[in-house]
Amino acid sequence: MMSDNDKPASAGSAHNMGSSPTRISDVQLRFEAKRAFVWTAVVGLAILAVYISQSLLVIFGAMVFASMIDGGARLLGRALKIGRMWRVGIILALTVAFFYWLATFAGTQISREAAQLPQIIEAQIGQAIIWLDAQGFAIKQDDIQNLVGNLMSGVGTVTRAIGGIFGGLTTLLLIVIIGIYIAVEPDLYERGVAWMLPNQKRSDFYITASKMGYAMRRLMAGRLVGMVFEGIFTWAMLAFYGVPMAALLGILTGLLAFVPNLGALLSGVLMVLVGFSGGTEMGLYTIFVYFLVQTLDGYVIIPLIAKKTVDLAPALVLAAQLIMGILFGILGLFLADPMLAMIKVMLERRSEQNDQAADEGELIADGT
């Protein structure tokens, strides 16, 4: 029969045998170990995000493209009471038809004008530098060559974007394919992401996703309408006065309108340089056209479409574009504005949740 003195020892031995040898018995030390593990996981995820950042950016670009298709399908659904698959198919068919027309009917003229554009820009830059030198500005020959070289590199990038549809055909193809899959069945992918979240977080996720989708559709709708308006209006105004390369400048202005601030500035510089190649009066006319187009688009078209759904500070947008452009090139530049808008929507939703939690806490406190 076991004595009382033997029982604690036996119980302690059984407890020690059942416990894990890696278990940290000290509470404070165990807390520090957990915190170190969390920080290690955060750093590891950050490194992984940097490593796969290009792939993540392609996925986000596909979501932006899907929001365009989804917005068009929803708009088409107001007039045609047909299934979603049919509406998505109509939007895709119209998109393919537009690019087919652009490549066949306008491709020859635009390619010829694009080949002439760098020479015209270089000649105008040279004349401007000669004028500045006559005014007393000390300009070195090396500075002239660097300036012209950098500008020609930028112009070449833009013209290659026209000829190759943003240059990277493989990246564009991935964006289009993934975007079509998402646009056809958006609920499927939304449920898939929600499934990976805890049950108590899923309702908030659906609300946030709905707000982000609405904001993205309105943002892209305003952007697309602005692109079409700027491209057609610029081409019509320039062709009316006989400005050279009116078609190319119209297409460049329309495409660059997708990038706020920087796009308008670049298209305006190109337009004015080409205008002054035909004389002072033509140059002044292109300046007038530029400001007229930007004023109508900024103060009439976009506010009517977007209604300030995503009101972003211009300086913040410009900073995001510069950072994304340096990190990811032209794709990052094009997607900086939508990404910034989604971050803002997410932060606004988080603020709403915090306010709601604070109100509930006050009600509980008042009830007690």
- Check pLDDT > 80 for residue 352: yes
Q: With bands split at pLDDT 50, 70 and 90, how would you rate the model's confidence at 93? A: very high
Name the token pair of 349: 């939703």
**Structural domain contains residue 360:** no
Distance of CA 317 to the CA centre of its chain: 10
- Check pLDDT > 50 for residue 164: no
Q: Which residues contact 204 (CB under 8 A, 6 or more apart)?
A: 349, 353
Distance (Å) of CA 268 to CA 87, 114, 199, 228, 310 = 36, 16, 51, 16, 25
Domain range for 331 is 53-351
The Cα 250–Cα 63 span in angstroms is 27
Q: With bands split at pLDDT 50, 70 and 90, how would you rate the model's confidence at 305? A: low
**Structural domain contains residue 8:** no
**Structural domain contains residue 232:** yes
Q: What's the confidence (pLDDT) of residue 167?
A: 45
Distance (Å) of CA 154 to CA 126, 157, 279, 301, 318 = 17, 5, 24, 28, 18
Q: What's the confidence (pLDDT) of residue 257?
A: 84
**Structural domain contains residue 313:** yes
Q: What would the pLDDT profile of 184-226 be if each residue is shown by its tens digit?
A: 888 888 888 888 888 888 888 898 888 888 888 888 888 888 8
**Structural domain contains residue 18:** no
**Structural domain contains residue 188:** yes
Q: What would the pLDDT profile of 244-272 be if each residue is shown by its tens digit?
A: 888 888 888 888 888 777 788 888 888 88
- Check pLDDT > 70 for residue 16: no
Report the SS3 class of residue 165: coil
Euclidean distance between the first and the last CA atom of the chain, given in angstroms as a whole number:
57
Q: How large a percentage of the chain has pLDDT more than 70? A: 73
- Check pLDDT > 80 for residue 33: no
**Structural domain contains residue 217:** yes
**Structural domain contains residue 23:** no
Name the token pair of 28: 């404070």
Question: Which residue, among 248, 236, 279, 3, has the nearest Cα to 118 in the 3D structure?
Answer: 248
Work out how many domains the chain is built from and give that number. 1
Q: What's the confidence (pLDDT) of residue 297?
A: 77
Round the average pLDDT of the chain to a whole number and report it: 77
